[in-house]
Amino acid sequence: MKKLKNEAEMVKKAIAAGVKYGEERGVVEFEATDSANEKIEYIYRLLCHDKVITPMPEDQVSQKSMKHRLAMWASKLK
């Protein structure tokens, strides 16, 4: 897993874009009390379900790997 130069920034961008994606799609409403880790997991699973990103094998899924996958996705957004 190659670390991105600005991965933390991309994770923040991915969370913002993922929250917007989920809410526009009408499947979720995030609360202010939801932690970043909860948002990351939900967004990752939603994007995998919608076939926006390729899912990882379940035994390889962790917070670190989900953050990385979302950062890669966010880096490709306009």
> Which pLDDT band holds residue 5 (cuts at 50, 70, 90)?
confident
**68/2 Cα distance (integer angstroms):** 9
| Other CB atoms within 10 A of residue 27 CB | 12
Question: What per-residue confidence (pLDDT) applies to 25?
Answer: 93
Is 70 a residue whose pLDDT tops 80? yes
Task: Give the pTM.
Answer: 0.91
Is 21 a residue whose pLDDT tops 80? yes
Q: pLDDT tens, 27-65?
A: 999 998 999 999 999 999 999 999 999 999 999 999 999
CATH of domain 7-20+33-75: 1.20.120.1930
Phi, psi (rounded to 5 degrees) for 77: -75, 155
Domain residue ranges in the chain: 7-20+33-75
